[in-house]
Structures are given as structure tokens and as C-alpha cells.
Amino acid sequence: ERFGAELYVLATYCAAIAIRMRLYGDRLDLRIEGIHAVLVVAGSVWFALAASYISALRARLRESKQAIERLASRDALTGTWNRGHIDALLAGELQRKARGAADFCLCLVDVDHFKSINDRYGHLAGDAVLRDVARAMQAELRSIDPLGRFGGEEFLIVLPATTLDAARACADRLLRAVAGVAVCGASPDRVTISIGIAQCTAEETSDSLLSRADAALYRAKHEGRNRIAVGTSKRSCASMRSSM
């Protein structure tokens, strides 16, 4: 199969020799024709090997490019999107919203008492907790819901075409899923998270949307952690500022 083209070239050349022998008879030098045939086949084989080598190089380059892209866009510890990429995905969602796409929501997630986990069990255990939390949350999300590590023990989730009620339901599933994550495997201690939700219903920047999600997350932690809080709408924030 690899040398099918070369066999075709050889067969074609032999057929050409046969036709020439029939037409020109004794005037052909079969030794020269044989040398020509060998050179043609050798050249064809060389080109086939060169083409195969170039094709393999291209495949390796594609694989290397994909690996570099993964390294550039993925968080090395958790395998989720890194900060730069999740920011870019959020910006893209805001652009789609400005063009008339459906409302979407953000979930800003923070692992509760993460410093205590590091202090008590060590940083390797803390790394394992972050990986397990990311894995548990990813299992509850749709394929269109990007999950990214926002920084430290914080994660950001973008929920396209999602109402506030649907975002609350999703956040509730995340709370339950993460509640099954244990610190250090056999430890009785369980991991919990707090979640702040913000809905984008009007034209705004990523900073303002993240600020509302962050304020909601702060409220969830202030009220006792292991819970969900919903951010104030942009219109409500503007009303509050104008009344001050």
C-alpha cells in the first residue's frame, strides 16, 4: 500500500517499453531501457519516502502546536481553563450578548477555608483538593459551560444562555457535588465551596459583571460559607449609587 504509486509507475513504464518494442523492434536497447526503469522506480521510491517523512513531520508539528495551545490555555494544576483564556471566553460571551444573544450568568466559586487545608494537611493536599473540586464541578456542567481557574482557590464558570433560576439550580448541584470531596482521601473532613452568581442582562463590561459576582461571593462567605448568593443587578447598583 505504501509503494502502490511506485508499482503503478513501474507497470506504466513497462507497458510503455512493450509498446515501443512493438513499434520499433530491434532499434531499442533493452539494457538502457532497464536502467531507465530502475532509475524511474528508485526516484519514485525516494519521492514517496520524502513525502511520507514530510507528512509525518507535519503531523508532529500539528501535535506540538496543539500541545502548546493546551499549555497556553489550560491551568497546569487543575486542567481547567487558565485565567487568560477564561477572561477571553467571558469577553466573547459579552460580545455575543451585545449582538442580541440570550442572557448569561457567571458563577464565581471559592473553596472555603482553603488556607486552613494547606496549613493543616500541606500544600500537596491543597493541590489535590483543587484538582478534585475542579473535577467534581466539571462533571455537573454542560459541555458549553467553560470552567476556569480564576486565581488561587477561586474558579470562574460562564453559563451561556442561562437564566438566573437555572444558574441557581446549577450552583446548587455544584455545592452538592463538591460536598462529596474529602481532604486527603480517608480524612473525615469534607470540602465546601461558596458561590456568587451574577446575571448579565444589559450591556456592561467584564469588570462590572465580575465585580457583582465577587460581591455576591463575599456575601455568601460572610453569611457562613457553603452557600450561594446572587449579585445585585446592574440597574439596582446604579440606583443605589444615584441615591447616595
Q: Which are the catalytic amino acids?
A: 153
End-to-end CA distance of the chain: 80
Residues 6+ apart with CB under 8 A from 239: none
Sign of CA dihedral 154, 81, 144, 163: positive
How many residues are listed for the chain in this entry?
Answer: 244
Per the CB < 8 A criterion, the answer to whether 89 and 173 are in contact is no
Per the CB < 8 A criterion, the answer to whether 181 and 136 are in contact is yes
Per the CB < 8 A criterion, the answer to whether 196 and 215 are in contact is yes
